[in-house]
Amino acid sequence: MDYFYKFGPAVFKLRDFSVNSFLRIWLWKLDPYRIENADECNTELLTASPDKYDHLLKSSTIIHNQPSGFYARQIFKAENGDYFLHLKEKSTNIDSLLFHITKDFKKISLLIDNTETSGQAAFEYIGRSAIYSMISLSVLGLHGVLTEHNGMGFIITAPSETGKTTHARLWRDNKNALIINGDNACCYKKNGAWVGFGVPWCGTSGEEINRSVPVQSLVILERGKENKAEIISTYEAFSLALSSVQCPVWDRDISDKAIALFDEFLNDITVIRLKCTPDAESVEVLEKALEEIE
């Protein structure tokens, strides 16, 4: 049986719900995004046997190596242009996860899951590739927090451990703001304006809502000794926040499209740099800056 899910402008089809499938285990997280049916889908997510792809694996070459938390991540490229995402546990060197991704990112298959995480690791990693697949639909994904306040959205981005989640939760606790996604801020241009939307993949934040909101601004967070918000130029914003763009750096064409979308996004919205301390005053300072651009 096929199941369909809608994330912003994208429709995904999930198939092959086999025994021990991570998709079956994590359906509860996908359920808020489910739609009854769809004439067509943009991307398929499924589980499959690695034996089916043996011929492609044998013709594949490593094109990218990158540490990723507990895992060593490798990207293989097959002769037909397809990709394999391979993760090994650093401490044991055991094969942990293996995904097959078609060259157009229209089909993403889980082949191996030895993580013993009840499908959680597989679910999160397939989510990263799912966000990459939406780039072809002109969806921009940023590593950041998509927040809504008074019917308007803003995205908070910063390097890890800088305090973006803390700041977003201060908005939630002091201003009754909604955290639409605590880790992946996705948006696209609709009728000339940028719209942010929820996705079920939210990293370790655990915070996500199936909801859309107009995006007013990007907030680049920096630690400071006092709270200060200032509007910065597109050029400065590009250099400060480029690393937040979610794209497969190992695929030049898709990455170039994502960067072009980011440049367009920065030219359309207001970018605020917030130097702040982790307290409620930082919310007041940013709120005042946001009100001035309305």
What's the average pLDDT block by block, 10 residues per block, for the chain (294 residues)?
Answer: 92 74 75 91 91 92 84 93 92 88 95 87 91 97 97 92 89 96 96 97 90 97 93 96 96 97 98 93 94 81
**Amino acid identity of 105?**
F
φ/ψ of residue 69, rounded to 5 = 65, -120
Smallest CA-to-CA distance from 229 within 163, 274, 294 is with: 274
pLDDT for the residue 21: 62
By three-state DSSP, how is residue 177 classified? coil
Smallest CA-to-CA distance from 155 within 207, 242, 214 is with: 214
DSSP code per residue over 81-129: S-EEEEEEETTT--EEEEEEE-TTSSEEEEEEE-S-STTHHHHHHHHHH
The domain segmentation of the chain, as residue ranges, is 3-136, 139-292
pLDDT for the residue 28: 85
Q: What is the pTM of this model?
A: 0.93
Could you tell me if 154 and 231 are in contact, meaning their C-beta atoms sit under 8 angstroms apart? Answer: no
pLDDT for the residue 258: 98
- CATH code of 139-292, in short, is 3.90.228.20
- Tokens 């390097």 belong to residue: 159
pLDDT for the residue 293: 82
Burial track 93-113 (b if 16+ CB lie within 10 A, e otherwise): eeebbbbbbbeebebbbbbeb
d(CA 75, CA 98): 10
pLDDT for the residue 22: 65
